[in-house]
Structures are given as structure tokens and as C-alpha cells.
Amino acid sequence: MTSASDLPRFSRPVLVLLVAAVVTLLGPVGDAHAQQLSAADRNLIVNVKLAGLWEMPAGMWAQERGKSKRVREVGRTLMIDHGRLDTATHGIADRFGVTLPTEPSDQQSAWLGEMKAARDDTEFDRIFANRLRYAHGVLFPIIAQVRAGTRNDVVRDYATTANQAVLRHMTLLESTGVVDQSLMPEAPVPQANNANAAMDVGFGDLALGLLLAVALGGGLFLAVRTLRAKNTRTRKRAAAAEPEPVPSASGEIHV
């Protein structure tokens, strides 16, 4: 049986290169790094918590002050949904050690102040629907980016839930009939080169993978061929070194 010490000296560096190529192709072993939170992951969790801190009171006020039945229904749904989402937010924050805010932001507090100061219920409906629809439009792309790019499975599931809730709320708020779309945040200007850049990165990774695969196959072939050649030479030398049989004397019988 051939041991590692039997390998030709120049083939050992080849094996080292092969191992390095395999590690490069397969990537790091284990998924411990995937369970860490990125800055974007943490930002999402904090922003969802902030949303609940002002949207739940707004939903409660809508049930009390909403002039239209639809506004009152939407307010109730938002309050219930954010209550459930808040429970999930605290769960993931506790798991990963994320510190959550306890008060809404200055902007959110100002929006609540506008609702409280509404002159009548009709104005309240308009402020409620437009301010919440605007806020959901700001949060929606933040959730989408994390959902698309997070390396953490738990955060991905959380972002999926939040994404569904925010999309549902935008649709409900628009169903009140008092949302002014001209006041909503505009979509970002698309970058024409982004798709091409992504394709370039993809082809570059593919080319690197193919190159490493070729190097892996070629190096393995060279190592096996070299080892076989050495074994053949060793057998020939061993056969040449065997002593010639001693001629037997006349009449002797060798068994």
C-alpha cells in the first residue's frame, strides 16, 4: 500500500494546490457566519419596531375618530397586524441581541401630532391615510433589500413576513380613497449599468470556477500518472535486484 511518504516530492505541492482549489470552490465549511446579523439586518429590525411604535396608536385613533367606515376598518387591521409583527420583532431582537427603541422617531411623533390636531374627522382621515401610506412606502424597499440579500435564514423569514404585512397595509390604506399618490415617495432612478455589472460578476465567478476545476482535474491526473510511473520503476528495480537461481547439481531434485 502506498503511503503519503511514497509520493514524489514534486507532487506534494500539487496536492496542496488541489486542496486549496477545493476549499475555494466549496467555500467556508459550516454556516456559523450566516447566523450573524449584518448592519442592514439590524436596521430592518429597528425600523419595523419604530413603525409599530406610532402605527399602533394611529390605528387605535382611527377606530375612534375615523369618519369613514373604511378608515376605521383599516385602522383596526393595522393595529392588529403591527401587534403581531411587534411580537416577532421582539423575538428576533432578543435572539440576536438587538436593542430596540422605546419611542417613535421625531418624524413619527410629528405625524401623530398632526392626527391629534386634526380640525375634524374628515381631516383626520386624510392625514391618517396619507401619513401611514407614505411611511409604508419608505419602509417597503428597506424590507425588500434585506429579504433579497440577507445571509441569515431567520432574518429572511422575518423580512418575508414584514414584506407581506407592509404590502397589505399599503393596499388597505389606498382603499380608503383619500390617499394622494403625488405625496408618496418616488421610485429611485434605475441604474442602467447595475444589471450588466451583476452579469459581469456572475460570468467572472463562473470563469474562475471553471479554471479551478480544470486545474483540479489536471493536477489530479498529473499526480496519479506520476505515482504510477514511480511504482512501475520501483517494481522493475526490485525485479532486477532478485538473485539468479543457483543451478542444481546433476541428479538433485528441487521442490
Q: What is the pLDDT of residues 68-92, one digit of tens each?
A: 999 999 999 999 999 999 999 999 9
Q: Helix, strand, coil proportions of the chain in percent (round to 5)?
A: 75, 0, 25
Is 128's pLDDT higher than 60? Answer: yes
Cβ-contact 135, 108 below 8 angstroms: yes
CA 213 to chain centre: 26
State in Å, rounded, how far the first CA of the chain is from the last one.
31
Name the residue ranges covered by the structural domains of the chain: 4-26+202-239, 38-188
Alpha-carbon torsion (85, 86, 89, 91), positive or negative: negative
The CA distance from 154 to 160, in Å, is: 10
What is the per-residue pLDDT across 199-255, written as a single tens digit (0 to 9) for each? 554 555 565 666 666 666 666 767 667 767 766 776 666 666 555 554 554 544 343
CA distance 158 to 3: 52
Half-sphere exposure of 28 (CA within 13 A, CB side): 5
Averaged pLDDT for residues 40-57: 97
Backbone phi and psi for residue 38, each to the nearest 5 degrees, phi listed first: -85, 170
- Is 38-188 assigned to CATH 3.40.50.970? no
pLDDT-above-90 percentage for the chain: 58
* Eight-state DSSP code of residue 112: H
pLDDT for residue 40: 97
Please, are residues 40 and 150 in contact by the beta-carbon 8 Å criterion? yes
Higher-confidence position of 96 and 196: 96
Q: Which of 42-46, 140-144, 202-206 has the lowest mean pLDDT?
A: 202-206
